[in-house]
Homo-oligomer: A and B are copies of this chain.
Amino acid sequence: MIDLGVSIAGIDLENPFVLASGILDENGYTLVEVLRSGASAVVTKSIGLEERKGYIPPVVYELPYGLLNAIGLSNPGIEHYSHEISIAIREKKPIIGSVFGSTPEEFAHLSSRMEDFGVSAVELNLSCPHVKGYGQEVGSDPNLVRDIVRSVKRKVDVPVFAKLSPNVSDIQAIAEAAIDADGFTLINTVKAMKIDIYARQPVLSNVYGGLSGSAIKPVGIRYVYEIASNFDRPIFGVGGITTAEDAVEYIMAGASAVQVGTAVARVGKRVFNKLISEMRDFMEREGFSKIGDMKGVALRR
């Protein structure tokens, strides 16, 4: 008997496949469809205090082995988003509320509202541009990360995941700063860009964007492995997962569960059912009966 169930920071999931933040999660009815397609939970789009239009399109660019995006954190603002959550929550599967901000107070307020709306956990998107510094991100400033995580933890009772940026020199210092979180989500997109040599211009209106998809899987595996080797916190692995083998790689690197983003566009929402059946096949073939039995087996301790 193969059991796909996992538990991460106290949240029980019927399978390890969760929708990643920012992908098909703006509209509550879409979240419902994603959950019905097999996802065990969904992470919402990152929501801020105020309504934001995001960047003018082009906001995405497809590469052969990945996707560039600079959506620009478009969102209706936390109060308006409550309606979308109220639609999705009827599916009775965990909703993880993702929030972004620039101060600990903002993060704490947003997380607390998410809790009010009934989410099972919050995920702190610590990878947005940081107003204080220049060209820097909230997630690369350990002191700010520490304050944000602490403020949120003081305010909410649901588990808190810190989603870390891969665009840092020293991920261990950042994870150490975020150690009050109940778990980590690794990784967000890798800063990158594309120039159209015929238009002689950057393709994204924001110039810079985030790279996701297959191209970043080796980077994601590295971060999960490094954090799992050094910290005792459950991890959501995310970045380039398209097949169950990709998910297994993250789990063997130490992830408890995984999130899937770009593949939902590449394959469609049916990617979740595909992952579930591929995972069963893999476990059967390789003699694993529980997801937990694969967790961290590649770590050299």
Residues of B within 8 A of A172 (CB): 134-135
Set B197, B208, B248: member contacting A248, Cβ < 8 A: B197
Sort chain A's interface into a size bin.
35 or more
- A225 / chain B contacts, CB cutoff of 8 Å: 193, 195, 202, 207
A221 at the B interface (CB under 8 A): yes
Nearest-neighbor residue (CB-CB) of A247 within chain B: B197
Interface residues of A in 184-225 (CB under 8 A from B): 190-195, 197-198, 200-202, 207-208, 211, 214-216, 218-219, 221-222, 225
Residue A136 is within 8 A (CB to CB) of chain B in the complex: yes
- A249 touches which of B170, B197, B226, B252 (Cβ 8 Å): B197
Contact check, A215 vs B140: say whether CB atoms are below 8 A apart. Answer: no
A169 in contact with B136 (CB, 8 Å): yes
A68 at the interface (CB under 8 A from B): yes
Query: Which A residues are closer than 8 A to B by beta carbons?
Result: 63-66, 68, 133-137, 140, 167-172, 190-195, 197-198, 200-202, 207-208, 211, 214-216, 218-219, 221-222, 225-226, 245, 248-249, 252-253, 286, 297-298, 300
